[in-house]
Structure 1
Amino acid sequence: MARCTSCSAPLPANTNRCLYCNSRSDVDLHAKHPYRVEKSATHRICPNCDKPLQSIHLKMADALYIERCHTCFGLFFDKGEIETVLQNSVSNVFDINREHIDNINKDRFRKHQKIRYVKCPECRRHMNRVNFGNRSGVVVDQCIVHGIWLDSGELTHLLEWKKAGGQLLHQQHAEELEKRQKQKQNVLPNAKTDYSAKTGGDFGSALDVDIVAAVAGLLDKLF
């Protein structure tokens, strides 16, 4: 369980605001991912606080620069950057722990959470809500052009989801879906071929009988 960086009190799974001292904590990066602030303010705007986002350099194997709100601690990733963070942070996962995945999702599930659509920090157009990895339980805000916004705590959720084999489960379902689609594509052409062959065979047999009958009738008239 994450703890408040100010008073060390335990934080609820679905918020970064402390119930005791009312301060917010950076539950995604603090003491987890080394980083440094490159720019204190960029042209990109936080969709929650309407303030300029910081540019921060995550110190990983791959150089990665993302944007963060210093107020709500939300994070903005350009296309492909979340996958890079997951790849660099969690590796060597070979098993799928479905029970743990379900528990992770239950911890963050809020039945009466108000659904809202937020604006892209770059183009300021409303983003789509997408369940990351289909089954991660994290509904991210996605601009199909510029990237993905994560509210505070959602990156930690995704890392736990991957550790539990969530990404493997997603890949497994994707492969099964692709396999079913290929099977459907193979069945349809075969069905058409079988029908054509059957129809052609029946038609050919009937035509042969008609020709023989016509020739026999002609011979009877001539002789």
Structure 2
Amino acid sequence: MASCKHCGAPLPANINKCHYCGTRNDVDLHARQPYVVAKTVTNRICPHCDIPLQTIKLTLEDNVFIERCKTCFGLFFDRGEIEAVLHSSVSNVYAINLEHIDTINKDRYLKPHKIRYIKCPQCRRLMNRVNFGQRSGVVVDQCIVDGIWLDNGELIHLLEWKKAGGQLLHEQTAKAKEKPEKYHARLPRSSYSGGNDNLGDNQCDITVNLATALIWLVSKVFGNY
């Protein structure tokens, strides 16, 4: 459990404001991810606080530059940057703990959240709400062009989800869905009904051939009398 950087009081899951001293805490990066402020002001705007975001340099395997709000501590990732952070921060996960994954989600979302669509920090268009990965429990705000916004606390949630095997589960589920599609793609078009453009023509040919054979048989039988 995280603790308040000001008074040391414990912070419940998904809570960044200390109930004792009122200090807002950066639970995603403070004492968890090595970083420096690379740029104090950018042209990207926080969708909650409506102020310019900072550029943060994460010193991981490869340097990753993301944007952060200095007030609410929300994070904005360009495309592919969340995956890079997850890969660098959590590795060598070979088992899936479904019980732990469910526990993470229950602890962080004990109360229902009001759904709110927010603007992209870059293009200022409303973003889509997308569930990140299989059973992650984190509904991220995604701009299909510019990137993904995470509220404070959601990055640490994703890190815990990956440690519990959540990303491994997501990858296995995606592969399982691909197999039936690949199987049908290899089948001859006549072996399954979907996509068989000549099925109707083949049925007509069979009907004509049967009718011709029947006429021939009748003529042979009655021709002998």
Question: Which 4+ runs in 1 deviate beyond 3 A?
Answer: 180-189, 195-203, 211-217
Deviation at 1:214, TM superposition (A): 5.5
Counterpart in 2 of 1:206?
Answer: 211
Q: Secondary structure at the match of 2:159?
A: helix
Deviation at 1:172, TM superposition (A): 1.6
Q: Secondary structure at the match of 2:3?
A: coil
Matching residue's letter, 1:80: G
Question: How far apart, in 2, do the equivalents of 1:31 and 1:80 lie?
Answer: 24
Deviation at 1:212, TM superposition (A): 5.5
Q: Secondary structure at the match of 2:104?
A: helix
Deviation at 1:113, TM superposition (A): 1.5
Question: How far apart, in 2, do the equivalents of 1:180 and 1:57 lie?
Answer: 42
Matching residue's letter, 2:51: K
Give unpaired runs (5+ residues) of structure 2.
none
Matching residue's letter, 2:191: N
Match status 1:28 vs 2:33: no
Match status 1:8 vs 2:8: yes
Deviations 1:79-120 (A, max 9, x none): 000000000010100000000000000011143321111110
Question: How far apart, in 1, do the equivalents of 2:74 and 2:165 lie?
Answer: 25
Question: How far apart, in 1, do the equivalents of 2:207 and 2:40 lie?
Answer: 79
Counterpart in 1 of 2:122?
Answer: 122
Counterpart in 2 of 1:180?
Answer: 180
Question: How far apart, in 1, do the equivalents of 2:40 and 2:178 lie?
Answer: 45
Counterpart in 1 of 2:90?
Answer: 90
Shift in CA distance, 216/103, structure 1 to aligned 2, threshold 3 Å: closer
> With structure 2 as the length reference, what TM-score do the two structures score?
0.88
Question: How far apart, in 2, do the equivalents of 1:74 and 1:104 lie?
Answer: 20
Counterpart in 2 of 1:75?
Answer: 75
Pairs within 5 Å for 1:79-158: 79-158=79-158
Deviation at 1:173, TM superposition (A): 1.5
Give unpaired runs (5+ residues) of structure 1.
none
What is the CA RMSD across the aligned residues, in angstroms? 2.6
Matching residue's letter, 1:76: F
Deviation at 1:211, TM superposition (A): 4.0
> With structure 1 as the length reference, what TM-score do the two structures score?
0.88
Counterpart in 2 of 1:191?
Answer: 192
Q: Secondary structure at the match of 1:44?
A: coil
Question: How far apart, in 1, do the equivalents of 2:73 and 2:168 lie?
Answer: 28
Matching residue's letter, 2:214: V
Counterpart in 1 of 2:64?
Answer: 64
Matching residue's letter, 1:4: C
Shift in CA distance, 164/119, structure 1 to aligned 2, threshold 3 Å: same
Question: How far apart, in 2, do the equivalents of 1:31 and 1:187 lie?
Answer: 58
Q: Secondary structure at the match of 2:192?
A: helix
Deviation at 1:188, TM superposition (A): 7.6
Deviation at 1:201, TM superposition (A): 4.6
Matching residue's letter, 2:192: A
Question: How far apart, in 2, do the equivalents of 1:73 and 1:161 lie?
Answer: 20
Question: How far apart, in 1, do the equivalents of 2:118 and 2:57 lie?
Answer: 25
Question: How far apart, in 2, do the equivalents of 1:28 and 1:92 lie?
Answer: 21
Range with greater deviation from structure 2 (101-110 or 180-189): 180-189
Deviations 1:27-84 (A, max 9, x none): 1111111111111000000111111000011101112110001111110000000000
Matching residue's letter, 1:161: W
Question: How far apart, in 1, do the equivalents of 2:7 and 2:128 lie?
Answer: 36
